[in-house]
């Protein structure tokens, strides 16, 4: 199993960090978790793309995590040579989001159908709204969902991917909570949103400090990992984006509370998961 950070950024546009997205490369195929800004550009750099996805999983419906859903949906369609519905899993509300996305794309769909004689079908997706439990199984790969806490954003979910003896948890945006603990128990790797509380409080802008009550700080992530016996942590969706030369500060903050490996995400970071 491989973990590939397609996008390590946040809602704020950054020339070096695409929007939130993680690709898990498994025996069952490529599994994409969230699809933020620029995700298919990053996927192309690791020889993946919409047509290669076995499934797309959404943690929640905040705009920065779904910005490029329309691109994944469209490119899945126009790069296929036979109908290939996109399997999508997500929290309640995801079906309505997909319906609205398709409606938004109606002019484009019409243009392409009118122009390409060999494209005789519409784009489509198979939609499964999830809350808790095993939601995907193929070969030795199993994906389990559990509710997280990103209130007032509701519902939100995290995911655990198990392949044989290896396991990775995708937390999404959340504060520490029982559902996340459930997913993390004994996991090899936790990929988790992280914000720097100290820097955000120093900036002091209300719209920025507001995010502290529904995101995990670096310390929160470290304590979640330590409490649940996780072996390694990947800090991603970094707010604010680390200034050059300050990366070690993030790692040091986590290591003050967690004895395992700590990695600071960058776009296209690729990690092998070992049991």
pLDDT digits (tens, 9 = 90+) for 44-75: 999 999 999 999 999 999 999 999 999 999 99
The reported pLDDT for the residue numbered 274 is 83
Residues 82-117 pLDDT 10s: 999 999 999 999 999 999 999 999 999 999 999 999
Domains within the chain, CATH numbers bracketed: 2-272 (3.60.15.10)
∠ CA 184-190-192, nearest 5°, is 110
On average, the pLDDT of the chain sits at 97
Write out the catalytic residue numbers. Answer: 64
- pLDDT tens-place string over residues 150-208: 999 999 999 999 999 999 999 999 999 999 999 999 999 999 999 999 999 999 999 99
Angle at 40 between CA 36 and CA 45, to 5 degrees: 125
User: Distances in Å between the alpha carbon of 153 and those of 36, 185, 194, 215?
Assistant: 17, 24, 17, 11
The answer to whether residues 92 and 155 touch, using CB atoms and an 8 Å cutoff, is yes
Hey, which residues does 126 pair with through a beta bridge? 87
Beta strand 157-163 with 166-170 is: antiparallel
Residues 75, 50 contacting (CB under 8 angstroms): yes
Cβ(7)–Cβ(17) below 8 Å: yes
Nearest to 3 by CA among 271, 191, 190: 271
């Amino acid at each position: 199993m491989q973990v590939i950070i397609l996008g390590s950024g946040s809602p704020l546009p950054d020339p070096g960090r695409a929007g939130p997205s993680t690709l898990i490369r498994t025996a069952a195929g490529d599994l994409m978790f969230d699809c933020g800004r620029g995700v298919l550009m990053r996927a192309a750099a690791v020889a993946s793309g919409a047509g290669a996805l076995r499934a797309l999983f959404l943690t929640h419906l905040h705009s920065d995590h779904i910005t490029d859903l329309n691109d994944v949906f469209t490119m899945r369609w126009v790069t296929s040579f036979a109908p290939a519905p996109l399997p999508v899993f997500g929290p309640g509300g995801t079906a309505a989001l997909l319906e609205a996305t398709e409606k938004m794309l109606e002019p484009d769909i019409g243009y392409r159908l009118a122009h390409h004689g060999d494209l005789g079908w519409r784009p489509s997706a198979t939609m499964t709204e999830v809350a808790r439990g095993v939601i995907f199984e193929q070969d030795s790969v199993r994906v389990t969902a559990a509710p997280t806490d990103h209130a007032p954003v509701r519902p939100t979910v995290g995911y655990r991917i198990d392949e044989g003896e290896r396991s990775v948890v995708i937390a999404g945006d959340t504060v520490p909570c029982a559902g996340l603990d459930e997913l993390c128990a004994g996991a090899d790797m936790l990929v988790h949103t992280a914000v720097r509380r100290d820097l955000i409080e120093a900036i002091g802008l209300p719209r920025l400090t507001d995010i502290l009550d529904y995101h995990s700080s670096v310390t929160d992530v470290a304590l979640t990992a330590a409490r649940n016996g996780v072996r390694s942590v990947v800090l991603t969706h970094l707010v604010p984006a680390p200034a050059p030369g300050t990366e070690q500060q993030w790692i040091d903050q986590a290591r003050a509370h967690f004895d395992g490996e700590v990695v600071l995400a960058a776009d296209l970071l690729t990690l092998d998961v070992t049991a």
